[in-house]
Chains A and B, each alone.
Chain A
């Protein structure tokens, strides 16, 4: 009867048959050794010539097949690894960095722009971009835009030329006859002051304190207000400090939440409506809970959003960069006398005739101290709530 070979037995026999092969492979691995440091094989001149020839042939083949011009690479000696250096910045410094490689425009840097007594804009420096407008209650507000950064380094040089000059000079003694005589100086001074005792005419008195400093106490939003004139005292479910005195205690939170859920169940659809001075009050905190703070909102929150963008992030001297400024009235009132002012930096030159505006405006320019221009748009129409506009112009990088 022939023995039956199972799969596992067959695998064992197969491994046993390959045992000499495994031994040979291990011997081969052990024969490999690392080259000791300092004994790296240096290619000989012949090797370099062969290497150059091989590289040339590969480059020519690539050039022929792909049609791409390829520089022949000569690799002699130990190569230094070429690493891709990502934009490095020192830790803890916000970008863009380094600042001397970037052109910045927009915002309101250093001295804050403000309105003078004659209505003029003060503190407008080079690179600043601001919008000025009047509110319905007569205030003048300045809103700066964001800052736009362009990568545009520019270089210059300092030259020094030195040379050796042959110079002929004769040395001789220089004598000067200078007679010196003593000068007689006499000065007579007359007495011009006299000390005279003066009798005091008045008395030194102590003045009474006429002004006293009065300290105003701050008013708390939630104050301890004991409830009075409530018949029968507090019920059991009202036994919370926040109910009784208006002060929230953390230790009561768990029990209070149960009551809150119960209150919400009942007050979800028919909540308490608060009316102050005949107007619907605005709920300013949270949405579903038993307590809420109500405030009467008068429409007096002017808000103008100014966004400035550039067409490119990098530019070389001579390039044209397009700037766009978007402004929107996000407040709750109409604003008047809207003026947009952009004080261009020294290295930005305004391209004449490139200013555009989506709203009717009077455009004017004025030279600034950086030998560039201040661009100004005076918008004739008031800006209503929700309305906005767009301003666009081109600049050449110097």
Chain B
């Protein structure tokens, strides 16, 4: 009996070890946080890592992040921040072009990370786009799910990428967007729009998903040119060290009741 149990345990462990990191058992319509929390159970260096993301919004739109159960003052796009894997971050998008006075509350769930060279984590963030079209869809009562994935280089699209637009595929009727993303690359984050709006009393902790901690990144200041022209033969430039000092990540604390 013990031998049978041990054999069964070993078989299950080997099957789990050989399982590819895909999400065929998950559906894109699962509630926010369900996929990311199961992703953490797979092990690896995922818990506690702040994966940088860059949120793009239409020109003029403002983005607010959640802190301590409340929305912070809105900021311009793009917004660069580090997000914990498996947590759900609620945003508020206001001042939408041609939809002034309307608000959209998307959520972002980071389900995987990338491994950039040390010190260049914020140079390679996961881009998350809030397009005008999708914001208007959410305002019209539709539910938009966008799974952002890392392209497989061998199967990448040869088209020259426009840095301002992220190429995307449309999942058809009955297709699971997560499964489609799995077949095209490695899913990294899920953006959902059009689900809920806060209650009349204001957003509660459930709506804000506990306001998980966020690493905010202050945009680097423009490099300052030297006041004097450089001498022939070279001169020491001090602006480099100042610029590197400005690009330190800023820690935003978690909220506890």
Say yes or no: is A104 at the interface (Cβ < 8 Å to chain B).
yes
Contact of A371 with B158 in the complex, beta carbons under 8 Å = yes
Contact of A68 with B168 in the complex, beta carbons under 8 Å = no
Over the window 239-257 of chain B, the binary record of Cβ atoms lying under 8 Å from chain A Cβ atoms (1 yes, 0 no) is: 0001001100111111110
B251 neighbours in A (Cβ, 8 Å): 73, 75, 79, 82
**Once the chains are docked, how many angstroms separate the CA of A346 from the CA of B242?**
38
B117 neighbours in A (Cβ, 8 Å): 87, 151, 313-314
Say yes or no: is B143 at the interface (Cβ < 8 Å to chain A).
yes
Measured CB to CB, the closest approach of chain A to B84, in angstroms, equals: 9
Contact of A156 with B256 in the complex, beta carbons under 8 Å = no
CB proximity to B under 8 Å, residues A325-351: 345-347, 349
- Contact residues of A: prevailing secondary structure: loop
A126 neighbours in B (Cβ, 8 Å): 154
Say yes or no: is A97 at the interface (Cβ < 8 Å to chain B).
yes
Whether A156 contacts B149 in the complex (CB less than 8 A), given A80-B213, A85-B49, A370-B158, comes out as yes
B249 neighbours in A (Cβ, 8 Å): 82
Whether A155 contacts B156 in the complex (CB less than 8 A), given A73-B251, A160-B171, A164-B141, comes out as no
Contact of A77 with B253 in the complex, beta carbons under 8 Å = yes
Whether A71 contacts B250 in the complex (CB less than 8 A), given A159-B169, A160-B171, A370-B158, comes out as yes
Say yes or no: is B48 at the interface (Cβ < 8 Å to chain A).
yes
**Once the chains are docked, how many angstroms separate the CA of A370 from the CA of B158?**
7
Nearest chain B residue, comparing its CB with the CB of A154:
B151
Say yes or no: is B94 at the interface (Cβ < 8 Å to chain A).
no
Contact of B180 with A98 in the complex, beta carbons under 8 Å = no
Over the window 211-250 of chain B, the binary record of Cβ atoms lying under 8 Å from chain A Cβ atoms (1 yes, 0 no) is: 0010110100100000000000000000000100110011
Contact of A101 with B115 in the complex, beta carbons under 8 Å = yes
Contact of A103 with B144 in the complex, beta carbons under 8 Å = no
Say yes or no: is B11 at the interface (Cβ < 8 Å to chain A).
no
**Once the chains are docked, how many angstroms separate the CA of A364 from the CA of B169?**
35
CB proximity to B under 8 Å, residues A244-273: none
A349 neighbours in B (Cβ, 8 Å): 160
**Once the chains are docked, how many angstroms separate the CA of A398 from the CA of B161?**
6
Contact of A317 with B163 in the complex, beta carbons under 8 Å = yes
Say yes or no: is B114 at the interface (Cβ < 8 Å to chain A).
yes
B90 neighbours in A (Cβ, 8 Å): none
Contact of A151 with B163 in the complex, beta carbons under 8 Å = no
**Once the chains are docked, how many angstroms separate the CA of A236 from the CA of B174?**
94
Nearest chain B residue, comparing its CB with the CB of A101:
B114
Whether A156 contacts B184 in the complex (CB less than 8 A), given A316-B123, A370-B158, comes out as yes
Interface size class of B (residues with CB under 8 A): 35 or more
Contact of A154 with B163 in the complex, beta carbons under 8 Å = no
Say yes or no: is A218 at the interface (Cβ < 8 Å to chain B).
no
A161 neighbours in B (Cβ, 8 Å): 134, 137, 142-145
CB proximity to A under 8 Å, residues B4-43: 28-29
Most central of B153, B221, B249 by chain A CB within 10 Å = B153
Over the window 121-159 of chain B, the binary record of Cβ atoms lying under 8 Å from chain A Cβ atoms (1 yes, 0 no) is: 001101101000010010011111111111111101111
A371 neighbours in B (Cβ, 8 Å): 158
A76 neighbours in B (Cβ, 8 Å): 68, 253-256
B134 neighbours in A (Cβ, 8 Å): 159, 161
Contact of B158 with A85 in the complex, beta carbons under 8 Å = no
Say yes or no: is B201 at the interface (Cβ < 8 Å to chain A).
no
User: Which among B48, B150, B153 is the interface contact of A345 at CB below 8 angstroms?
Assistant: B153
Say yes or no: is A74 at the interface (Cβ < 8 Å to chain B).
yes
Whether A157 contacts B169 in the complex (CB less than 8 A), given A68-B246, A73-B250, comes out as yes
**Once the chains are docked, how many angstroms separate the CA of A75 from the CA of B254?**
7
Whether A162 contacts B143 in the complex (CB less than 8 A), given A77-B253, A154-B150, A156-B169, comes out as yes
Say yes or no: is B166 at the interface (Cβ < 8 Å to chain A).
yes
Whether A346 contacts B153 in the complex (CB less than 8 A), given A69-B221, A161-B137, A372-B158, comes out as yes
Say yes or no: is B79 at the interface (Cβ < 8 Å to chain A).
no
Whether A155 contacts B116 in the complex (CB less than 8 A), given A76-B254, A398-B159, comes out as no
Say yes or no: is A10 at the interface (Cβ < 8 Å to chain B).
no
Known A-B contacts: A88-B44, A101-B115, A398-B160. Give 8 more (CB < 8 A): A69-B246, A83-B48, A86-B118, A98-B186, A101-B116, A154-B150, A158-B147, A158-B171
Which B residues contact A (CB, under 8 angstroms)?
28-29, 44-45, 48-50, 67-68, 114-118, 120, 123-124, 126-127, 129, 134, 137, 140-154, 156-161, 163, 166-171, 175, 177-178, 180-181, 184-186, 188, 213, 215-216, 218, 221, 242, 245-246, 249-256
12 pairs of residues in contact across A and B, judged by CB atoms under 8 Å: A79-B253, A80-B48, A80-B213, A100-B185, A101-B150, A157-B148, A158-B169, A159-B168, A160-B175, A162-B29, A396-B160, A398-B161
